[in-house]
Amino acid sequence: MSEKLEQDIYSAISSTLENMAFMEVGKEVAEAVRYPDEDIVVSRLLIHDPLPGELYLSMPKLLLGKIASSVYIMPAEELSEQMLLDMLGELINTVAGLFLNAYLPEDQAYNLGLPENVPVGENDSPFEMKTWDFHVDNDLFSLTLAGDGYFQEEEA
Amino acid sequence: MNRIVIADDSATARMFICRCLEIIGLGEATLVQAENGREALSMVKEEETDLLLTDLNMPVMDGATLLKWVKSSPRLHDLPVLVITSAGNPAKEQELTSLGAFGVLNKPVSPAVLMDALKPLMS
């Protein structure tokens, strides 16, 4: 796994949450709380080109509620399910842009799809993939990148 | 500014941009929200608008198409269009600027960055 890929993924997710919700993302997840599937929501975003792939962002509803509460400046209990899912979509959209801007050459154009919510466990991408676990406030969440072109260095 | 149209398919993004506009002192303008480019086009046509903020990736009509429509309309040609996108980089910025975009900002946008971008339009 290239160090740059690792660094760009972490930088994208930490910048997104810090800038949107003033939340710090941690990489040490040994002590973090792992939530059961029924408490998790997942959003998927297709990367059309130049390197086809997919990003999946899986988050516990509780954490998503904290993030949305910070962004909307509303108590978490007043946020609708739709607002939470929309928040998740905007997060993955922003993460994807920051990641590709950092990972690809500066003048390289790229095209993204639209975020879509998918059931937990449906990240069975046909591409090679890697999942990174992070935490915010000790709540574990994960980001998965799928796409053969992103892992070529490792194969070589 | 009296009227600002914000086009983004994400309600979160629209709310976030509205919040930034309020923070930089544009909260007294009428902030009109559209879920896609087509809706935004209708909104800028129906009433005089001072600024259009648009995302790029949207269903129905994307931001680049919206920009082309606005810039090809004699009535709307002078409307400043600021693109706020997660898919922006120097290549995309150059492409959008050549289409007539007033500016291109990357998400997540912040009040300071928005203020800086809009400074030439603010009296």
pLDDT, tens digit, 9 for 90 and up, residues A110-130: 999 999 999 888 767 778 999
Calpha distance A47→A61 (Å, rounded): 25
Cβ–Cβ under 8 Å, residues A12 and A18: no
Please tell me the predicted confidence (pLDDT) of residue A156.
Answer: 43
ipTM above 0.90, yes or no: no
pLDDT, tens digit, 9 for 90 and up, residues A54-68: 999 999 999 999 999
Query: Is B90 in CB contact (< 8 Å) with chain A?
Result: yes
Beta strands B51-54; B3-7: pairing state: parallel
- Residue labelled with tokens 């959003």: A43
C-alpha dist (Å) from residue A73 to A79, A80, B23: 10, 14, 14
Please tell me the predicted confidence (pLDDT) of residue B123.
Answer: 67
How many Cβ atoms sit within 10 Å of the Cβ of residue A107?
10
Cβ–Cβ under 8 Å, residues B24 and B114: yes
Calpha distance A44→A67 (Å, rounded): 18
Please tell me the predicted confidence (pLDDT) of residue A102.
Answer: 94
Instruction: Tell whether the model's pLDDT for residue A41 goes beyond 70.
Output: yes
Contact B10 A71 (CB under 8 A): no
Instruction: Tell whether the model's pLDDT for residue A155 goes beyond 70.
Output: no
Cβ–Cβ under 8 Å, residues B52 and B23: no
C-alpha dist (Å) from residue A149 to A46, A102, B28, B39: 14, 15, 48, 37
User: Hey, CA dihedral for A10, A15, A16, A21, is it positive or negative?
Assistant: positive
Please tell me the predicted confidence (pLDDT) of residue A24.
Answer: 95
Calculate Rg over the CA atoms of chain B: 13
How many Cβ atoms sit within 10 Å of the Cβ of residue B94?
13
pLDDT, tens digit, 9 for 90 and up, residues B27-86: 899 999 999 999 999 999 999 999 999 999 999 999 999 999 999 999 999 999 999 998
* Set of chain B residues whose Cβ sits within 8 Å of the Cβ of A89: 10, 12
Chain B interface disruption, residue of A46, A70, A83, A94, most B CBs within 10 A: A94
The percent of residues in chain A predicted with pLDDT above 70, rounded, is: 96
Please tell me the predicted confidence (pLDDT) of residue A153.
Answer: 61
How many Cβ atoms sit within 10 Å of the Cβ of residue B89?
22
Please tell me the predicted confidence (pLDDT) of residue B47.
Answer: 95
pLDDT, tens digit, 9 for 90 and up, residues B76-111: 999 999 999 988 888 889 999 999 999 999 999 999
The kind and range of the H/E element at A45 are strand A40-49
